[in-house]
Structure 1
């Protein structure tokens, strides 16, 4: 996907999420947080800053698992998903990393929001 198509698909995704949750996510981190909450499967509640970071990590692992970067290993004793890094994530500048993650997030929602 080129940058123009990614931007268009991203804006469409944000519109869909706004319709779904009632509030437009402000940035990539907000979308990753929503994915993390969904993947944890414990429903909406208040989360500490540390737990929010853990939820975003779950989301990154989940969306990058589509391309084989992570493999789902199961759940720990507290019901949190556990992932194993399978191959190195490409090093890039911040903008390239954001585009890389957005592509994977768009793909995640294309498969999950059917």
Structure 2
């Protein structure tokens, strides 16, 4: 990635997402939800609280798959993607883990633009 700080790159991404979806995502969880909906591929609809958590899990697995932490393992009977954990996620405090995810989310969106 370039020399910008993670916070600067994150703010740039939120601005781009605001242009695309018409509303600025409030936080990392909102961005993960958007990625989960995209990866599920069933279009926007109302999701239960449990389904929203599942969508965010799909997003985490997808973005971390770029670095080999997860591999795609097909779809379940309901058409939801399944992932296998391949290596442990690096430990760290909450801020370190959030920045780790943000970096992967930024890479995810950059890969879509290539």
Alpha-carbon separation, structure 1, partners of 2:3 and 2:54 = 28
Q: Corresponding residue for 2:29?
A: 29
Alpha-carbon separation, structure 2, partners of 1:39 and 1:94 = 25
Moved over 6 A (4+): none
Q: Corresponding residue for 2:110?
A: 110
> Please, which runs of 5 or more residues in structure 2 have no aligned partner?
none
Q: Secondary structure at the match of 1:53?
A: helix
Alpha-carbon separation, structure 1, partners of 2:78 and 2:98 = 30
Alpha-carbon separation, structure 2, partners of 1:69 and 1:54 = 18
1:2 Cα offset (Å): 9.2
TM-score using structure 1 length: 0.95
Alpha-carbon separation, structure 2, partners of 1:52 and 1:90 = 25
Alpha-carbon separation, structure 1, partners of 2:73 and 2:36 = 16
User: After superposition, where does 1:4-19 map in structure 2 within 5 Å?
Assistant: 5-19=5-19
Alpha-carbon separation, structure 2, partners of 1:50 and 1:113 = 30
Alpha-carbon separation, structure 1, partners of 2:9 and 2:113 = 14
1:3 Cα offset (Å): 9.5
Q: Corresponding residue for 2:42?
A: 42
Alpha-carbon separation, structure 1, partners of 2:2 and 2:9 = 11
RMSD: 1.5
1:113 Cα offset (Å): 3.1
Aligned length: 114
